[in-house]
Amino acid sequence: MANKNIEQRRARTEWFRKARFGMFIHWGLYAIPSRGEWVRSVEKMSREDYQQFFDEFKAEEYNPKEWASLAKKAGMKYAILTAKHHDGFCLWDTKLTDYKSTKTQAGRDLVREFLDAFRAEGIRVGLYFSLLDWHHEDFPHYEDRHHPMCDDKNYSNEKRDFSRYINFMHGQIRELVTNYGKLDIMWFDFSYGKMAGDAWKAQELIDMVRSFQPDIIIDNRLEGSGEQSGTILTDNPSDFAGDFACPEQMVPPEGIVSESGDNVPWETCLTLNCNWGYNAADQHWKPADMVIHMLVECVSKNGNLLLNVGPDPKGRIPQASVKILEEVGCWLEKNSQSIYSCGLSDFPKPEWGRFTQNGKKLYAHIFQPQSGAICLMNMDGKLNKARLLSDGSEVRIPKKEWNLSEYKEHEFLYLKPGHGNNYPLPDRIDTVVEISLK
């Protein structure tokens, strides 16, 4: 008998496995020092040192409608905002702490505005919630793996009550799943060492979340992390194993499957530069063609791409990010059928690019120009017709051409009329040919 969690996971993630492309948004107090979202931990800032950023936070140019418009233009189908990162600062009007946006100069419930704006654009919405909280007095400080004060004996844990923190954490999550309408994704981050699974009272937590949001999909980090996936890869995943795996800053070599070889829903989360949160000095941007190739690679392996933006202290998405996403959107506008609802192909990866597939439609993503006909290995007799996806123009499938006659087990494509060189490609980034299979 199939594991009930696997069956329920398959049903809940149906939309997710079709969407394929999402926006991750890391934004909070850490945007002000502009040295990445881990700045307080990396630089061992005390709570008092970090307070200056709370006092300065204004979000004066925060306009989630502009964010949502950009996500839609980029072709993204869902978006996830960091409602609370590891520093404990909350972007919503939580009733359980004053460490929140409504108590800053911003004076606004930024989560509610985000959800309203993205829903208005028809984009599915999710919230990121850190299981860590470096601001809360009852979260372990000394000798914790990540806490800013982990090396300072003056911050011993003798008077800290972790159960009190767990009650606080569960209460905050309850607020998010009960006060903000239907949420499509809850993205927890993350487990490590003994701080995993039962430590978070994960069973109790997952039962509570699903009692209010039965269709919500949840990542695997109540028991996993970017380092390891937890029981989601087994044939008997726990109730809190999650609905999808989330490798970080890399695309899995061959996708993700369970121990018995069944496909596991997954999503690679990647930064556009080298940081999740805003870093003013980080100008190492991934160009649009690289992003498109990574998106195609994820889809060709049955996965999604969750691409991050890190707004600046005022709430503006950097112009470099905007430009890249607009370029990606231009390509998707012409080639989206090869991405949405597509997945792993029946055929092995070709040398010149990748395949994605949706039923009898095979999409050849041609990354590299060829000196002649494009070879489709061991596909003789399997092709019906071929068209350039961007405009529907015919792509010739030559039969018995003089220089191909010895390669009868293969099929070939010509991207130009007649014989000869196919260079340059119609689309230098990724020329997509839609092939109808017999």
Beta strands in 253-372 (DSSP E): 267-271, 304-309, 353-358, 361-366
Q: What is the pLDDT of residue 421?
A: 54
The architecture of the domain spanning 4-338 is Alpha-Beta Barrel (3.20)
Does residue 322 have a pLDDT over 50? yes
CA torsion through residues 17, 18, 19, 20, sign = positive
Does residue 161 have a pLDDT over 70? yes
Computed over every residue of the chain, the mean pLDDT equals: 96
- The phi, psi pair for 109, rounded to 5°, reads -85, 95
Interhelix angle 319-335/288-300, nearest 10 degrees: 50
Res. 1 pLDDT band, cuts 50 70 90: very low
Per-residue pLDDT of 35-70, as tens digits, reads 999 999 999 999 999 999 999 999 999 999 999 999
* Mean pLDDT, residues 157-174 taken together: 97
* Mean pLDDT, residues 163-181 taken together: 98
- The phi, psi pair for 107, rounded to 5°, reads 65, 30
DSSP 79: E
Per-residue pLDDT of 268-282, as tens digits, reads 999 999 999 999 999
The tokens describing 366, both together, are: 């041609």
Q: What is the pLDDT of residue 262?
A: 93
CA torsion through residues 267, 271, 275, 280, sign = negative
What fold characterizes domain 353-437? Immunoglobulin-like (2.60.40)
- Residues in CB range of 184: below 8 A, 6 or more apart: 15, 78, 124, 125, 126, 215, 216, 217
Q: Which of 76, 58, 35, 63 is nearest to 326 (CA)?
A: 76
At residue 303, the 3 state secondary structure works out as coil
The tokens describing 203, both together, are: 């069973």
Ranges for all domains in the chain classified under CATH 3.20.20.80: 4-338
Res. 404 pLDDT band, cuts 50 70 90: confident
**Number of H helices and number of E strands within the chain?**
10, 13
Ranges for all domains in the chain classified under CATH 2.60.40.1180: 353-437
